[in-house]
Amino acid sequence: MQESISTDHHLSSNNQSIMPLQPIPGAFVLILCAIFGLMSSITCQSTYNSHDCSGIATNNYISNLDSLLNSLSSKASTNTFYNDTSNGIYSLFLCRGDVSTATCQTCVKNASVIIRHRCPSNKTAIIWYDECMLRYSDTNFFGVFQTLPRLLMWNVGNTSTPEEKNYRALGLINSLIDSAPNTDLMFGKKENDGSQPGFAMLQCTRDINSSSCRSCLDTLTENMEKCCQKQRGWRLLSPSCFIRYEEYPFYQQPPAAPPPHVPQPTPIDEGKGGNNTTKIVIITLSTFVAVATAALLGFWYYSSSCRKKEQKGAHTEACLLINAVVQSISAWWIWNKGKGLELIDPNIVDDYPINEFRNEEIFLIN
């Protein structure tokens, strides 16, 4: 999609003065992002739209501004809107109502850095991104809606009936203007229910009241009808509110809801904890006895099979292993009964000191 961009600084009922923005080469944008990335680990995920600066600031003002912007940027980790004042500087940021907290934080962080580079010595400035807006001034603007300076952006393609009013777009916008100012975020988005696609979004900064929000949006709508109603898509951005309309979905959808939690069945409590404990012990012992019995039966079966194979002169690895286990168990049983001498070859028992057999006992224990 191709878009045209212009900024509107002075608007009267008879004339509209528009200053075109110079396009920024893509290579320069990449280099700029790389430089800022090396300087302060700033990512290039946010989409820059435009900025506006005015007034000459003193060195003391600039020093105070740097501190304020750092503080403002940190607030984006937990807020989608925030306004603050310090040392005579008034500032705020607003993130789009459909973006995540992480996206908001990245955008505000980028904006707070880029605005100082684009407006290095100005005391009043505003910067617009797709995902957020940030502004500051030496004049208190809190609570007063402003529609200047204004940024206009539109799709270069016309609608199928450019000579007629775009009632589909106006219907969506007017519907949102009726409802959004009364919401907590002063934000709204809506899509056309008909066969022709249409998607609209608008929002106000939350330092103004619902009445001022509605007036701000009405002003932008009037200017849209003059400049770009015949276009297939457009957006108008101002310090206190914005409106956007497209023929394709451009806003972010909320994350899918997690599957419902299925609680585990609650065990039946008969009122006597001792009974439940007894049942658990009985079940555990029964299981152990069953496993031990099965193991002994299996061991007896394989031992019998091995003896039959040995009588036939056949020796398998399994039988050798079983014989070793049987012999170890037998030796242990004999030593445990105090009859260790029975393990000694009768031919050497008389010549071998009895005390030296204790090492063999220790070996069997280990």
Q: Which amino acid is at 270?
A: E
Residue 93: pLDDT over 80: yes
Percent of the chain with pLDDT over 70: 57
Q: Cis omega before residue 255 (within 30°)?
A: no
List of residues 6+ apart from 38 with CB closer than 8 A: none
Six token digits for residue 94: 């607003």
pLDDT of residue 303: 64
Asked if the model's pLDDT at residue 66 lies above 70, the reply is yes
Using CA atoms, how far apart are residues 246 and 232, in angstroms rounded to an integer? 7
Q: Per-residue pLDDT tens for 95-126?
A: 999 999 999 999 999 999 999 999 999 999 99
Asked if 243 contacts 153 with a C-beta cutoff of 8 angstroms, the reply is: no
DSSP 322-355: HHHHHHHHHHHHHHHTT-GGGGS-TTTTTTS-GG
Mean pLDDT of 10-32: 38
Say what the pLDDT of residue 71 is: 92
The Cβ of residue 303 has, within 10 Å, a number of other Cβ atoms equal to 15
What b-and-e string marks burial along 75-92, b requiring 16 or more CB atoms within 10 Å of the CB?
bbeebbbbbeeeeebbbb
Nearest to 91 by CA among 100, 82, 99: 82
Is residue 14 pLDDT above 60, yes or no? no
- Over the stretch 306-364, which tens digit does the pLDDT of each residue have? 666 556 655 555 555 555 555 555 554 554 555 555 555 555 445 544 444 444 443 33
Mean pLDDT of 158-167: 84
Q: What is the pLDDT of residue 166?
A: 85
Given this model, what pLDDT does residue 336 score? 53
Q: Which domains does the chain have, with CATH numbers?
A: 145-253 (3.30.430.20), 275-365 (no CATH)
Average pLDDT, the chain: 76
Report whether 146 contacts 69 (CB < 8 A). Answer: no
Q: Who has greater pLDDT, 307 or 228? A: 228
pLDDT of res. 227: 86
CA distance 67 to 57: 15
pLDDT-wise least confident of 56-65, 199-208, 311-320: 311-320
Angle at 176 between CA 173 and CA 177, to 5 degrees: 85
- Evaluate if residue 200 carries a pLDDT over 60: yes
How confident is the model over 248-260, as pLDDT tens digits?
999 887 654 455 6
pLDDT of residue 233: 93
Task: Determine the Cα–Cα distance for residues 181 and 206; give it in Å rounded to an integer.
Answer: 9
Residues 123, 137 contacting (CB under 8 angstroms)? yes
Q: What is the dihedral of CA 293, 295, 297, 300, to 10 degrees?
A: -140
Residue type, 219: T
- What tokens does 252 get? 């972010």
Within 13 Å of residue 187, how many CA atoms lie on the same side as its CB? 13
